[in-house]
Amino acid sequence: MKRLALAVTAVILLVSLASTQSIDLGQGLGTATPPAAAKPAGPFKTEDQKTLYALGTVLSPQIKQAVSVLSLTNAEYKFLVMGLKDALLGEKPKVDMATYGPKVNELAKARIAAKADKEKQKSKAFLGKMAKEPGAQKSASGLIYFEVKAGTGASPAGTDTVKARYKGTLIDGAVFDASAKHGDQPLEFALNRVIPCWTEGIQKMKVGGKAKLICPSDIAYGDRGQGAAVPGGATLIFEVELADVVKKEQADAVESEKPKEGGDVLEKAAKEPGAKTFPSGLIYKELKAGTGENPKPEDTVKVHYTGTFPDGKVFDSSVQRGQPAEFPLRGVIPCWTEGIPKMKVGGKAKLTCPASIAYGAQGRPGIPGGATLFFDVELLDIVKK
């Protein structure tokens, strides 16, 4: 449900924030007082001028990120700088913003998709080779699974919470994440709150076992990637050791410590005429029947939606933004991955999502941990590739 993050817009936002918030310029500069006689090179006449210069260096990584994300050439980069300069100085835009402003999102989407496609092309030969390796188990989703060491304990279910140690690498061997970075103990997580490759792959393991999961981007972080470490379209390799399946009594003890909104919210939603409750906790209510196709969980869809808390407060809405959201169903909260395939194109539905299939106990910015969420969703289209 996240809108496409535009790096160019982020740069301008950072400049705006810099004018209202305190920025730490001391990182990496040391704490020692420079000798009084030291005179930095440059056309500086005041301390403020030096500080503003330092501000520019602080913001430069963000501008470089914009250049990288959008794959700008040196020739294109000068036009980005020109636009930033005119906007910051209050100059009249040199182009019709009503025409070209909306094209920023189109450009970003096209450039990001092109980068992801290149990354996928790089992975093709690797995936083909791995699928032919001895012991490889390739599933319909694209997951390539290797058992490294057989476990002797229980296998987890898709809704279980597990403890695992892992190391994640790109196909060139670069490590982008590892449980060892977070301490000596295995990390604990719910299998319905991780990338689809893990949800599927770890269920094939038994406690005490080790496995290698090779995850094409479609069941990993998709075209958007994950921060600077995982590029869009990247195939990922995980070495996983399943340390434990958290016992139900342990999970219940953790659950009892989560913020509670009261059973009345879910009970009331379940009793609405036409509402259907599913084992995951999803409560689905059709508001308008569609006449098109049903999407599959691996499809990319285009929707309009409004998300609210039980008190009716809106926390997110593509309708208010005036722009539909487009996303792969494998890349959103489990409530959406399960709920939207029940719809047909042209239809509308209300999804009531308990925290366990939304943002969990941890929540996210703007959404408290343990929150039940309501979504009114209109399925506009299934995006064909």
pLDDT, one tens digit per residue, over 237-267 is 999 999 999 865 444 444 443 444 446 788 8
pLDDT, one tens digit per residue, over 115-148 is 889 999 999 999 999 999 999 999 988 999 999 9
- Residue 73, amino acid: T
Q: How confident is the model at residue 8 (pLDDT cuts 50, 70, 90)?
A: very low
Does the domain formed by 263-383 have CATH 3.40.640.10? no
pLDDT, one tens digit per residue, over 326-355 is 888 877 888 999 999 999 999 999 999 988
Give the C-alpha separation, 214 to 35, whole Å: 55
pLDDT, one tens digit per residue, over 363-382 is 777 788 788 999 999 999 99
Take residue 201 and report the two structure tokens written for it: 């792959």
| Start-end of CATH 3.10.50.40 domains in the chain | 120-250, 263-383
Give the domain 120-250 fold: Chitinase A; domain 3 (3.10.50)
pLDDT score at 42: 66
What does each C-alpha distance from 159 to 7, 72, 95, 190 come to in angstroms?
Answer: 35, 43, 52, 7
- Average pLDDT of span 148-175: 91
How deeply is 373 buried, as exposed, middle or buried, from its count of CB atoms within 10 A (0-12, 13-18, 19+)?
A: buried
* pTM for this predicted structure: 0.54
